[in-house]
Structure 1
Amino acid sequence: MTTIEKATTRPGAKAGQSNEFTLITPLKPGGAERMRKLLAAGFTGDRQKNTDRIGTVHDLRFVIFDDDTRVLFASTYDGDWDSYMDDFATIIPDELDLLFHECEGYPGARNPTFKNWLVSSQVEALAFYSAYPDASVRDVWKALKTKKALDALLDEAA
């Protein structure tokens, strides 16, 4: 397999600065059960902190279906496709490998064919909606921090 060169357009629908990413791929035999155990606690604690380190992830989800033979991974993110994938592969490659190692053909985040594997399993959404298409994750975090400070100030003044 040859490495896909950075293209000007990657798969995925866009709404303002928000982008969707949907991946559907087969699981290894027994992979569904192992993935369920791995993700039983969801995205809390260290897993949430690791994901937050990316700084562009609005949401994400894993869904196992087809009698435990396939998994859907979907996310909404800021920025362009290549930067998003590069961030995962360089900031939290071990976490990424842990989460996707049950997927058939997954080469690993550090493998030069990583993006090829993603593109081969990616499905572009027919329609994509974002409630705040012009607000980045960092904008939302900042707004929530400002609201918290303002609420505290108003509570103190009351």
Structure 2
Amino acid sequence: MEIKPQAVVIPKETDHLEQGKYGPVFPRTPACYGFTIVARVKPGHADAVRGYGYELAKALEQDPYLLAPLKLHYLRWVLFDDDTRFMYQGIFDTDFDKYTEDAIALFTKAGVSTVFEHLEGFPEDWRTNPEAFIRFVREHQCPSFIEYGEYPYVTADEIKKALRIKSAFSDVLDQMQ
């Protein structure tokens, strides 16, 4: 089976899209699902944003599967405009509503904060008010207008399974030598 790279253009108008619990459900693309959020950093909080990044990296060293419920492929954080603005970019396997609900549940269960607490306008009651959390994300979302996948529509679990099979196959070949 040959997998051919694909791209999908995402319409600017979302009125025709299915409505989910928290707004339009953007289509799954060859890159799966994802979103980009751009927001202002609270004055004096840029170091805290970077510090949170280090905390997250350390937590993932302790538990590499900490973020597994989010079904992430990639996550990128960028501070720009002289550390006054923050970009959060994530690619994942679930739709927006599920990803956001899972993120709130994960952080609440783990008793940890979110980097978003350092952003202007982020609701203080985000743990108990998912609608406010989601409203913030939707208001700061910068939707893609095209998404490309070299290996389109493949989930993170499928990629991990293929890598396990490749490793097992390699082990078998090594034993045959």
TM-score range relative to shorter protein: 0.7 to 0.9
Match of 1:147 in 2: 166
**Which of 69, 85, 92 is the equivalent residue of 2:84?**
69
Give the aligned length: 153
Contact kept? 1:61, 1:74, Cα under 8 Å = yes
Find out whether 1:128 has 2:147 as its counterpart.
yes
**Following the alignment from structure 1 to structure 2, what is the Cα–Cα distance between the partners of residues 39 and 135?**
27
Contact kept? 1:27, 1:71, Cα under 8 Å = yes
**Following the alignment from structure 1 to structure 2, what is the Cα–Cα distance between the partners of residues 8 and 102?**
25
- Structure 1: stretches of 5+ with no match in the other structure: none
Cα distance, 1:76–1:42 mapped onto 2, change above 3 Å: same
Alignment of 1:1-158 (within 5 A): 6=21, 9-10=24-25, 14-16=28-30, 18-40=32-54, 43=57, 44-46=60-62, 48-54=64-70, 56-93=71-108, 94=110, 97-107=113-123, 108-112=126-130, 113-158=132-177
Match of 2:17 in 1: none
- Structure 2: stretches of 5+ with no match in the other structure: 1-19
**Following the alignment from structure 2 to structure 1, what is the Cα–Cα distance between the partners of residues 76 and 114?**
15
Cα distance per residue 1:1-34 (max 9 Å; x no partner): xxxx715623x56414702200001111111111
**Following the alignment from structure 1 to structure 2, what is the Cα–Cα distance between the partners of residues 13 and 103?**
28
Cα distance per residue 1:72-128 (max 9 Å; x no partner): 000111121111111111123357733222111222243231111110111101322
TM-score w.r.t. the length of structure 2 is 0.75
Match of 2:11 in 1: none
Contact kept? 1:13, 1:20, Cα under 8 Å = no
Q: CA RMSD in A?
A: 2.5
Contact kept? 1:106, 1:117, Cα under 8 Å = yes
**Following the alignment from structure 2 to structure 1, what is the Cα–Cα distance between the partners of residues 64 and 78?**
18
Cα distance per residue 1:32-81 (max 9 Å; x no partner): 11111221376441474312232x21101000011111100001111211
Comparing 42-51 with 30-39, which one deviates more in the overlay? Answer: 42-51
TM-score w.r.t. the length of structure 1 is 0.83
| Secondary structure in 2 matching 1:106 | coil
